[in-house]
Amino acid sequence: MATRGSGVPPASDPCDRRAIRARKLLRAARRGDRGARERLLVNHLGVIRSLAWRYRDLGLPFDDLVQEGALAFVDAIDRYDPSRGAEFDAYARFRVRRALRNALTEQALPIRLPKHLVERRRAVERAEAELRARGGPAPTPADLAAETGLSVEAVLEARGTPSVPLSLDDPRAAAAALAGAVPDPAAPDPELEAVAHEQLERLQAALAQLPERQRRIVRRRWGIDGEPASTAALAAELELSARRTQTISEDALHRLRTALEPRDTAATR
């Protein structure tokens, strides 16, 4: 138990406990514990994939981008210096983003371009897609300059840089012009979809670890397979008392929370 004035947060706060366990896992990984390093990488794989998704279709396959991001994350573990005051997660994101930009600059194009030109071209293309999605005439260089905050000369320079080459065997080559000219504003955000898909997979895996009756209660009570059911309705289905059904439900939720916590939690308890 923390004493008054000790500066130690109460141990009962779940957020504080998770933060303490995450720091312990990071320290173990920095000491060379391969198991801790792998758990730290797995825990952050969703973030790495989300960052890599932002740089898709710029010349490198998505899987290659994820691999570059993962290598940069592992390198961030060794290079991280907590004495500088930065949080590890923020530092790791910085290293991953920089590695992705470097990979695109060095590997995506036959002719290597300066990093600032690659970034500037990407910003101009994104602004152009957004302006087209709003409707109206085709955006002019002046429109793009106002949208990106660049000068007109910088916009023209960015648009004049070589685009990402596509092989004639790549099915995207035939549809590239049409896909760029007809954006779908109603399409869901692919980054959010990727994160949601990963979270759903984790939930399904955690549910599979529950006993059959607990799994059934959770799926029915919270409407995973259909309409949510009340505790009274579940109690009638299972021929249990409402109190007993509620107890089983609470135990199942506790198990799910434990299974869905970052993997370093179990390792540092």
The 10s digit of each residue's pLDDT in 134-166 is 877 788 888 888 888 888 888 887 776 655 554
Taking a C-beta distance cutoff of 8 angstroms, is the pair 30, 79 a contact?
Answer: no
What CA–CA distance (Å, rounded) separates 225 from 230?
Answer: 14
The 10s digit of each residue's pLDDT in 5-29 is 444 445 455 567 777 888 888 888 8
- Nearest-5° angle of CA 263, CA 86, CA 33? 40
The per-residue pLDDT for 214 is: 82
Is 220 part of any domain?
yes
- Placement of tokens 């959010």 in the chain: 192
- Placement of tokens 């990963």 in the chain: 198
Structure tokens at 171: 């099915």
The per-residue pLDDT for 161 is: 61
The model scores a pTM over 0.85: no
The 10s digit of each residue's pLDDT in 75-85 is 888 888 888 88
Burial 123-146 (b: 16+ CB within 10 A, else e): bbbebbeebbeeeeeebebebbbe
3-state DSSP helix/strand/coil % of the chain, to nearest 5: 70, 0, 30
Is 223 part of any domain?
yes
Is 247 part of any domain?
yes
What CA–CA distance (Å, rounded) separates 202 from 207?
Answer: 9
Residue type at 18 in one-letter notation: R
Residue type at 163 in one-letter notation: S
Neighbouring C-alpha atoms within 13 Å toward the C-beta of 194: 16
Is 241 part of any domain?
yes
Q: The domain containing residue 236 runs over which residues? A: 190-268
> For the chain, what is the domain count?
1
- Count CB atoms within 10 A of the CB of residue 256: 18
Taking a C-beta distance cutoff of 8 angstroms, is the pair 218, 224 a contact?
Answer: yes
The 10s digit of each residue's pLDDT in 102-119 is 887 776 555 555 667 767
Residue type at 226 in one-letter notation: G
Among 61-70, 88-97, 108-117, which stretch is predicted with the lowest mean pLDDT? 108-117
Calculate what percentage of the chain has a pLDDT beyond 70.
76
- Nearest-5° angle of CA 253, CA 258, CA 262? 135
| Average pLDDT taken over every residue of the chain | 75
Q: Report the CATH number that the domain containing residue 257 is assigned in CATH.
A: 1.10.10.10
Is 199 part of any domain?
yes
Is 2 part of any domain?
no
Best CA proximity match to 58, nearest among 162, 195, 178: 162
